[in-house]
Amino acid sequence: MPDVGKDPDIGKASDTGTDERGTDRLGEQESPSESPSLLASVAGFGVTFKAMFKKRLTEQYPEYKKPTAPRFHGRHQLNRHPDGLEKCIGCELCAWACPADAIYVEGADNTDEERYSPGERYGRVYQINYLRCILCGLCIEACPTRALTMTNEYELADRTRESLIYTKEELLAGLEEGMVDTPHAIYPGATEDDYYLGKITEVAPGTVRQVAVSKGELPASQRPAAGTADSPEGVEA
């Protein structure tokens, strides 16, 4: 053990009133901010001056929206077949794959009178909670029918929890030209496999939207006459 008491440097005072361990004569530790040096100040301003001549990084958002990378992970979309039927079969694999528990799915059976997808089942309820979603993309990897994909849309901020839980109606892709909205019948003579093999490329002639009884719509024969107070809007037979 060294003989501390005999160390000649210990307790040796400097001109500023401190010894070489930063302890003043009263034994208190001196803060570095209490001894600013001119050199340190100049160095600090040097950083400021250097930054003044750098290219500015200011984004003119939202007036200018920077394009994303082509495979950017943005808002989800539920896709349709070329005739308008939905690709989702309500299997819930996306919900199982999600590490953030952000997806809720309820499947239901199609019927010939009310068909939403070519096969046996469809996604009756579909929700994604964007307060939980981390946009990792595991759900779209898990989807067996390519029903679920991600778009490049990243403007997902809002003020309420409810508005950030996107419903099936918000996530379902819009109708392209020639498509008929669901529910409607499968292409005559086609099978579910024909849809997934890409053999159905357009809507069958004469296809009309069916009545969504499960959503509370009434068949034409049971609807109140047009123009009355009880007449629903926008439902076609």
Residues at the contact surface with ligand SF4, assessed by CB under 6 A: 88-94, 97-98, 100, 102-103, 105, 123, 128, 133-139, 142-143, 145, 147-148
- Minimum distance from residue 234 beta carbon to ligand SF4 (Å): 26
Would you say 142 or 212 has its CB closer to ligand SF4? 142
Distance CA 18, CA 223 (A): 95
State the CB neighbour count (10 A cutoff) for residue 22.
13
- Minimum distance from residue 126 beta carbon to ligand SF4 (Å): 7
- Minimum distance from residue 125 beta carbon to ligand SF4 (Å): 10
Would you say 118 or 123 has its CB closer to ligand SF4? 123
- Torsions phi, psi of 45, nearest 5? -65, -30
**In contact, 147 and 89? CB cutoff 8 Å:** yes
Nearest-5° Cα angle at 140, 142 to 106: 75
Would you say 75 or 184 has its CB closer to ligand SF4? 75
Would you say 85 or 143 has its CB closer to ligand SF4? 143
According to DSSP, the β-strands at 103-109 and 121-129 are: antiparallel
- Minimum distance from residue 106 beta carbon to ligand SF4 (Å): 9
**In contact, 88 and 171? CB cutoff 8 Å:** no
